[in-house]
């Protein structure tokens, strides 16, 4: 979660101005900045509340959206994203891809999570048997991000949170990928997401700045994490592993390569027996992707799925619905404020060579 919003498109127009000097008319030309609203590829799906970070799944033929819930905040904006001060989750359902999403109300509130203090950021969900599991990050009472899990008999909640966070968990943006009977959870986010503070395996901060604990530019970038979930879906079922994101020559993407390195918002989908690991590049605002032969990786960088949206953050999910692929994402069309976002969707195309056609969310 981060800071500055992308400004609206400014165009320069040359228009004639008329001035009166010494009783004579004189034509002059002056460049005047004219603000023009951007043209968006997609329209907001939800407008009565602010929503972001949409994680989407199809359960029993119904589409469910699990977003974060943006709210106005009196918390001062800073480099840790403190102004992203979300406190609860709403779940939305769609009977088909063209239906208007239905808001099923508050599914979980920070006051219902014993260990959580604030900042309920991007969640995800999974179904196993007749139970539904909501995975979410929140800061504990030491202001350290942990991952929690809450359980419900319904995909729309309400969800009951476990009394403690997942053992050994940290950072943000949990995302669950199911393959057969196995469930894999991915997570991590640098800067405000604190992943850089766990490079030694323990929380270690060498400075107040969220950038203070990053590797040098020529070192490998910080890796996102993955682990199988336990049979009961409430804990890690194995020791978490680091995910390697590689260049085409097999070397790790470097920390200084901000156009391609992992920042946050991990997501995995499978297409034609290949695993696609997609993620946000953060301060360069792309949703990038890499392809591998295993849900653990390594993943080889391929390119960009989604170009920058209006607003600082870019966060997504990719899901197959009725034989077609879609990307769900957010921008700030409704508010113009980077911490007050709205969710959207667009069709996604896998090309014949296995790559993904890049999507431009703001039309030229």
R_g of the chain, CA atoms, integer Å:
22
353 has catalytic annotation? no
Are 84 and 121 in contact by the 8 Å Cβ rule? The answer is yes
53 has catalytic annotation? yes
Residue in 315, 307, 303 with CA at minimum distance from that of residue 351 = 303
Backbone angles phi, psi at 34, to 5 degrees: -115, 125
- Please tell me the distance from the alpha carbon of residue 167 to that of residue 235, in angstroms, as a whole number: 7
Burial of 235 (0-12, 13-18, 19+ CB in 10 A): middle
Side-by-side strand order, sheet with 182-187: 175-179, 182-187, 225-228, 241-242
Catalytic residue among 124, 213, 214, 264: 264
- Please tell me the distance from the alpha carbon of residue 27 to that of residue 18, in angstroms, as a whole number: 5
Q: In the block, which residue shows the tokens 């053992």? A: 167
Residue 197: helix, strand or coil by DSSP?
helix
Residue 306: helix, strand or coil by DSSP?
strand
From residue 207, give the alpha-carbon distance in Å to each of 223, 272, 344.
21, 45, 37
Long-range CB contact pairs, 347-351, < 8 A, 24+ = 348/305, 348/318, 349/325, 350/271, 350/272, 350/325
Catalytic residue among 53, 173, 213, 333: 53
Sequence-distant (6+) residues with CB within 8 A of 301 are 245, 246, 247, 248, 253, 260, 288, 289, 290
Element (H, E) at 102: strand 102-109
Tell me the CA end-to-end span of the chain in Å, nearest whole number. Answer: 27
Residue 30: helix, strand or coil by DSSP?
strand
- Give the catalytic positions in this structure: 53, 264
């Amino acid at each position: 979660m981060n800071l500055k919003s992308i400004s609206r498109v400014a165009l320069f127009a040359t228009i004639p101005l008329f001035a009166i000097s010494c009783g004579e008319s004189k034509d002059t030309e002056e460049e005047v900045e004219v603000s023009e609203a951007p043209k968006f590829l997609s329209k907001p799906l939800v407008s009565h509340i602010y929503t972001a970070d949409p994680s989407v799944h199809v359960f029993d033929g119904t589409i469910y959206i699990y977003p974060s819930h943006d709210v106005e905040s009196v918390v001062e904006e800073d480099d840790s994203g403190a102004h992203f001060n979300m406190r609860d989750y709403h779940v939305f359902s769609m009977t088909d891809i063209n239906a208007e999403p239905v808001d099923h109300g508050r599914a979980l509130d920070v006051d219902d999570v014993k260990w959580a203090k604030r900042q309920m950021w991007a969640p995800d969900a999974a179904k196993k048997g007749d139970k539904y599991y909501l995975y979410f990050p929140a800061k504990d009472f030491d202001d350290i991000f942990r991952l929690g899990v809450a359980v419900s008999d319904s995909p729309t909640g309400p969800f009951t949170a476990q009394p403690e966070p997942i053992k050994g968990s940290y950072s943000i943006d949990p995302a669950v990928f199911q393959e057969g009977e196995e469930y894999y959870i991915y997570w991590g986010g640098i800067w405000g997401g604190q992943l850089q503070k766990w490079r030694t395996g323990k929380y270690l901060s060498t400075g107040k700045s969220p950038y203070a604990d990053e590797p040098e530019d020529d070192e490998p970038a910080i890796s996102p994490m993955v682990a199988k979930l336990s049979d009961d879906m409430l804990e890690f079922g194995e020791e978490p592993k680091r995910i390697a994101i590689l260049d085409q020559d097999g070397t790790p993407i470097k920390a200084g390569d901000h156009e391609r390195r992992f920042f946050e918002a991990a997501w995995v989908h499978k297409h034609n027996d290949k695993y696609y690991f997609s993620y946000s590049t953060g301060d360069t605002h792309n949703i990038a992707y890499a392809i591998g032969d295993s849900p653990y990786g390594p993943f080889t960088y391929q390119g960009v799925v989604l170009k920058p949206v209006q607003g600082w953050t870019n966060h997504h999910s990719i899901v197959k619905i009725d034989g077609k692929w879609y990307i769900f994402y957010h921008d700030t069309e409704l508010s113009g404020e980077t911490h007050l976002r709205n969710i959207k969707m667009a069709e996604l195309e896998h090309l014949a060579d296995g790559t993904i056609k890049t999507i431009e969310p703001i039309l030229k």
